[in-house]
A = this chain, B = another copy of it.
Amino acid sequence: MTRIARYFPPLDWGRRYSRATLTNDLVAAVIVTIMLIPQSLAYALLAGLPAQAGIYASIVPIILYSLFGTSRALAVGPVAVVSLMTAAAIGQVAEAGSMGYAAAALTLALLSGAMLLGMGLLRLGFVANFLSHPVIAGFITASGILIATSQLKHILGVPAGGHTLIEMLRTLVAHLGAVNWPTLIVGVLATGFLFWVRKGLKPLLLRAGLAPRMADILAKTGPVAAVAISTLAVWLFGLDARGVAIVGTVPQGLPPLTLPDLSSDLLSTLLLPAVLISIIGFVESVSVAQTLAAKKRQRIDPDQELIGLGAANLGAAFTGGYPVTGGFSRSVVNFDAGAETPAAGAFTAVGLAIAALALTPLIFFLPKAVLAATIIVAVLSLVDFSILRKSWGYSKADFTAVLATILLTLGMGVEAGVSAGVILSLALHLYKTSRPHVAEVGLVPGTQHFRNILRHTVDTDPALLTLRVDQSLYFANARFLEDLVQDRIAEDCALRHVVLMCSAVNEIDFSALESLEAINERLKAASITLHLSEVKGPVMDRLKRSHFLDEMGGQVFLSQYDAWQCLTPRR
């Protein structure tokens, strides 16, 4: 692959593009387009934006991703969690439904796009690692609950709001007397239908003799049927006059050219939300892309994915959209429908553009309750509390991080939840590495091996203390080692030599070097000599660049046995 092709993947896959590939991509595009129309509308509703924003966010961004992304099957557009995070972020700066709200969504997409692009160009894909798996799992589960709860107001036909579970439930309960019964009936029927489509339709189709792949795809188009039937029903029975909220007029036309608001107040308020949206979106997208790529032994380049997603979000910012990322369900449909290259994405964009141009009058009577039902059914599959049980069994530290993430996301909103999860998992990791295992070792009689004196019968010498450190030494555990040595030597008057056995030390950072210097000074003050043994090559190279080895009173022994022979009296 050439250097240019790395940053512009079509140069790579475009050269092998054949008529057969084209056919497969076109078929996949048609199926994904049909699926995306209701989904895009629904997620726009979730984000608090006009319905067309969801369609717009699925046109230019998909094309840009298909030019710069590396996944063959990833379908980019609005997704549930990012839509919720968008609502939470811009809810701080503007009233949902206002002009400023839609403008802030553009700014958020711009910030997110610029960050993703910048991280991609600087090859900073590794920052996504700051999100541990349990934190992501907890966050997605809690977000799913928040999203489903946020949609209950559309099913009940009452006004409600808030960005935490408690706020949402409180405002819902406060309006429970004002439930609109026609809306509730439509909403419950749609939700029931969609659940049945999800669980019951596929087995039915299979029994009817359809191929599994076809049955799967047909089952995924259930929301389209729900949309069509409910729209017809509203129109036929005049349900809108009975209080059923409908989508109403959606402007016909291609995505408009929009300019995001760049006022510094807005930018600074949206900065942190944009960071979180970018990273969450990136992590979600990369895991989907990797899972799909693995099935065909293809590879994706995470840093180039950042560029692709960055371009997609910039595209969303300038064409009336809002933050987008690679979605799980749509990508799986795209993959299962046979998409072979990112060109399938471009064809999907064409399909959606046609829908934006021609089909929007058809959804005038589409009830919002049905869109809410599609969201609820989609996100409840994200809710998976088994992570709590699994992490509890495996590691209490991971369990703590998951539980904190879930509780804080539900109780204080998405931003607090994910931030707390990241900080807590980092803190727990640092806590663990800040207390490395250090064993006092002695010689196993008749061998040259040294083992923990607490676990084995070994020879020791009162004048010689050997400590084996089972971890790299860096700032978080440097002081621990200082304390440990200090504790051990206090009031031990027979001691003359301390040997640090470094066989498991892969790194000694500057803090650890200074701790070693401090240990050396303190040992000197107590008339004890410090030695090292079994120092690895790269660590030794570093130490040679400092003055430590000159200052250290003792020697560096190649093997611990050499140290033993040199420092203990002959028996």
Where the two chains meet, the residues of A that have a C-beta atom closer than 8 Å to any C-beta of B are 126, 128-135, 286-287, 290-291, 293-295, 297-300, 302, 390-391, 393-395, 397-398, 425-426, 429-432, 434-435, 437, 470-471, 474-480, 482-483, 486-487, 489-493, 504, 506-507, 509-511, 513-515, 518, 521-523, 525-526, 542, 545-546
Distance in Å from the Cβ of A299 to the closest Cβ of chain B? 4
Distance in Å from the Cβ of A67 to the closest Cβ of chain B? 22
B395 touching A126, Cβ below 8 Å: no
> Within the assembled complex, what's the spacing in Å between the Cα atoms of A426 and B293?
33
Distance in Å from the Cβ of A507 to the closest Cβ of chain B? 7
* A526: chain B residues within 8 A (beta carbon): 294-295, 297
* A430: chain B residues within 8 A (beta carbon): 129-130, 426
* A476: chain B residues within 8 A (beta carbon): 126, 129-130, 429
B297 touching A489, Cβ below 8 Å: yes
* A395: chain B residues within 8 A (beta carbon): 509-510, 542
Known: A129-B479, A394-B545, A522-B290. A426 touches B426 (CB 8 A): yes
Distance in Å from the Cβ of A530 to the closest Cβ of chain B? 12
Known: A391-B510, A513-B394. A475 touches B133 (CB 8 A): yes
B429 touching A518, Cβ below 8 Å: no
* A491: chain B residues within 8 A (beta carbon): 297, 299
Distance in Å from the Cβ of A172 to the closest Cβ of chain B? 30
Interface of A is mostly: helix
* A132: chain B residues within 8 A (beta carbon): 474-475, 478, 509-511
- Contacts A/B (CB < 8 Å), 6 sampled: A132-B509, A287-B518, A290-B486, A426-B430, A429-B476, A437-B506
B486 touching A294, Cβ below 8 Å: yes
Known: A478-B129, A513-B394. A507 touches B432 (CB 8 A): yes
Chain B CB count within 10 A is highest, among A129, A132, A434, for A129
- Candidates B290, B394, B511, B518; contact of A398 at CB < 8 Å: B511
> Within the assembled complex, what's the spacing in Å between the Cα atoms of A525 and B295?
5
A129 touching B434, Cβ below 8 Å: yes
Chain B CB count within 10 A is highest, among A132, A435, A477, A509, for A509
* A487: chain B residues within 8 A (beta carbon): 299
> Within the assembled complex, what's the spacing in Å between the Cα atoms of A471 and B504?
10
**How many copies of the chain does the oligomer comprise?**
2
Distance in Å from the Cβ of A5 to the closest Cβ of chain B? 16
A470 touching B506, Cβ below 8 Å: yes
* A479: chain B residues within 8 A (beta carbon): 128-129, 286, 302
Distance in Å from the Cβ of A534 to the closest Cβ of chain B? 14
* A131: chain B residues within 8 A (beta carbon): 475
B475 touching A546, Cβ below 8 Å: no
* A525: chain B residues within 8 A (beta carbon): 294-295
> Within the assembled complex, what's the spacing in Å between the Cα atoms of A386 and B316?
50
B129 touching A475, Cβ below 8 Å: yes
A435 touching B126, Cβ below 8 Å: yes
Chain B CB count within 10 A is highest, among A286, A504, A522, for A522
> Within the assembled complex, what's the spacing in Å between the Cα atoms of A514 and B129?
13
> Within the assembled complex, what's the spacing in Å between the Cα atoms of A123 and B400?
19
Nearest B residue to A298 by beta-carbon distance? B490
B133 touching A514, Cβ below 8 Å: yes
Which 4 A-B residue pairs are closest in the complex by CB-CB distance?
A: A294-B522, A132-B475, A398-B510, A133-B511
* A297: chain B residues within 8 A (beta carbon): 489-493, 526
* A390: chain B residues within 8 A (beta carbon): 510, 546
* A546: chain B residues within 8 A (beta carbon): 390, 393-394
Nearest B residue to A489 by beta-carbon distance? B297
Distance in Å from the Cβ of A436 to the closest Cβ of chain B? 9
- Candidates B134, B482, B523; contact of A511 at CB < 8 Å: B134
> Within the assembled complex, what's the spacing in Å between the Cα atoms of A193 and B135?
60
> Within the assembled complex, what's the spacing in Å between the Cα atoms of A482 and B128?
13
Distance in Å from the Cβ of A22 to the closest Cβ of chain B? 23
Nearest B residue to A399 by beta-carbon distance? B510
> Within the assembled complex, what's the spacing in Å between the Cα atoms of A391 and B509?
9
Distance in Å from the Cβ of A373 to the closest Cβ of chain B? 31
A480 touching B545, Cβ below 8 Å: no
> Within the assembled complex, what's the spacing in Å between the Cα atoms of A66 and B493?
27
Distance in Å from the Cβ of A344 to the closest Cβ of chain B? 20
Nearest B residue to A513 by beta-carbon distance? B394
Known: A430-B426, A522-B290. A480 touches B514 (CB 8 A): no
Known: A299-B490, A542-B394. A434 touches B126 (CB 8 A): yes
Distance in Å from the Cβ of A213 to the closest Cβ of chain B? 16
A394 touching B510, Cβ below 8 Å: yes
* A286: chain B residues within 8 A (beta carbon): 479
Chain B CB count within 10 A is highest, among A293, A470, A489, A513, for A513
* A486: chain B residues within 8 A (beta carbon): 290, 293-294, 299-300
Distance in Å from the Cβ of A357 to the closest Cβ of chain B? 39
List 9 extra interface pairs beyond A130-B430, A132-B510, A134-B510, CB under 8 A: A129-B480, A132-B475, A286-B479, A291-B521, A294-B486, A294-B526, A297-B490, A297-B491, A395-B509
